[in-house]
Chains A and B, each alone.
Chain A
Amino acid sequence: MASRLDLYIDKAMRSRVWRSVFRSGNGSSTLHRSLAIQQSLFLHILPTKVRRRMLGLDATWYLGTLTLGTFLVLVITGILLMFYYHPSVPQAYADMKDLRFVVSSGLFLRNLHRWSAHAMVLLAFAHMFRVFYRGAYRPPREFNWVIGVVLLLITLLLSYTGYLLPWDQLAFWAITVGSNISSAVPVVGAKVHFLMLGGNQVNANALLRFYVLHCVILPLAAILFVAVHFWRIRKDGGLYVKQSDPAVVQQASETPVPAEIPEPAGVPEMVMEKR
């Protein structure tokens, strides 16, 4: 049964259609495996080779990956919430109430969005502390730290713009206070405040502007910077290795089908580099 399935998979992978999509083919040499990563748009920002110990919990506590995970949850739940939310006054508040009390699973999705948002801010800070105390921000990774700071700002702005959308008293006064902080900027403060709110007070224009920022502009900016952030890990020579770490170094392979490749037991699918 299994062998017949393997046969079909093998046949499919040799087909012209498969080869036109995955150009690298299905060989098991190091070159083929590297090409499988390099020639995919989605995988090429990842390193083709990873040190085995960097995949362990110790190295990163997976904080960056978890931050990305919460971001993905936020994108999915956010798109679902958009199906029921009108960014208008006073409909926005009623829609938020509907999501909580009327829409099937609306309460669950809204709370998932909210808690993931809190978790993302927390995880972004935790990730930065982890990077800082490991010293992983040092050359040649200093520019990736800067990109990380931009990502932190985008995260906080996403939090802030999302805060207005329920259009309740808490949202209104929080944005009133928060937007007034921008008025304190010398010379251009009042203009910035006016542009941000699209008026002099937190009103329909402000709600619509924050909605567009929250749902379109800031997520696109976040995706762009996340892509650069990941790609820089590859370009900066993989994750930072502490020289004092016990070097558990082995050579192995990265293919997701480890069966036919001779390698030590329990090795994950990514490649390890001698170090």
Chain B
Amino acid sequence: MAEENKSRAAEPEKEISRRAFFSKVGLGSIGLAAAGTMSFAYQYMSPNVLYEPSPVVNAGKVDKYSVDSVTLDPVAAIYLIRVQEGFFALTAICTHLGCMTAWKPELGMIACPCHGSHFNREGQKLAGPAPKPLPWLRTWVSEDGDIMVDRSTVVPAMQFLRI
């Protein structure tokens, strides 16, 4: 002990006692094991395969939709909207807390029943607690001539699908 103190006094920076060394090794390995357990738990709890409906939705033929129409697909939770410039798709999921919105033709607005957010036909917020506009979803025409919507891909607003 006395020797140890002496050597420590001689080189206070580099010298480390055996006890302190093993304490550090022990604590370090416990820390490592804890980090590994956390990572293991996180990976285990994150499912790798989801049995959820495909994000890609077939919205049918172009002729189904008249110009200046807003069509809600309540199962896919999307709006398909046809205007003069072409088609676009909006999510029907409110950006506030995830409720399903509805198109109100008499108001010309999209309204959320949960907390009263209102959006215009282009998805921009008009009123209510929603923090963001309704995102525009990627649309394209399939080889069979059907309109396809990818619910998992957001595109910038005002990108119309011209037919």
Contact = CB atoms under 8 A, between A and B. Distances in A.
Contacts of A140: none
A176 B99 CA distance: 7
Contacts of B51: 203-204
Nearest to B96: A180
A85 interface: no
Given A173-B99, A180-B97, A203 B52 contact: yes
Contacts of A177: 97-99, 114
A194 interface: yes
Interface stretch (B2-10, B11-19, B42-50, B65-73): B42-50
A105 interface: no
Given A176-B99, A177-B114, A201 B52 contact: yes
Given A177-B114, A195-B45, A200 B50 contact: yes
Contacts of A201: 52
Interface in A165-199: 173, 176-177, 179-181, 194-195, 198-199
B46 A194 contact: yes
B52 A199 contact: yes
B98 A180 contact: yes
B97 A176 contact: yes
Interface in B15-70: 42, 45-47, 50-52
Nearest to A175: B98
Contact of A181 (B42, B47, B97, B99): B97
Contacts of B98: 176-177, 179-180
B101 to A, nearest CB: 13
Contact of B52 (A180, A181, A200): A200
B47 A205 contact: yes
Interface residues of A, number: 15
- From DSSP, what is the main secondary structure of chain B's interface residues? loop
Contacts of A180: 96-98
Interface in A196-221: 198-201, 203-205
Interface in B82-114: 96-99, 114
A177 B113 CA distance: 12
B15 to A, nearest CB: 40
B47 A198 contact: yes
Nearest to A209: B45
A164 B22 CA distance: 50
B88 to A, nearest CB: 22
Interface string B100-136: 0000000000000010000000000000000000000
Contacts of A173: 99, 114
B137 to A, nearest CB: 15
Contacts of A200: 50, 52
A199 B98 CA distance: 14
A177 B114 CA distance: 9
A199 B47 contact: yes
A177 B96 CA distance: 9
Contacts of B47: 198-199, 205
B9 to A, nearest CB: 42
A180 B50 CA distance: 19
Q: Which 8 A-B pairs have the closest CB atoms?
A: A180-B98, A177-B97, A180-B97, A176-B98, A199-B50, A195-B45, A198-B47, A199-B52
30 contacts: A173-B99, A173-B114, A176-B97, A176-B98, A176-B99, A177-B98, A177-B99, A177-B114, A179-B98, A180-B96, A180-B97, A180-B98, A181-B97, A194-B46, A195-B42, A195-B45, A195-B46, A198-B45, A198-B47, A199-B47, A199-B50, A199-B52, A200-B50, A200-B52, A201-B52, A203-B51, A203-B52, A204-B51, A205-B47, A205-B50
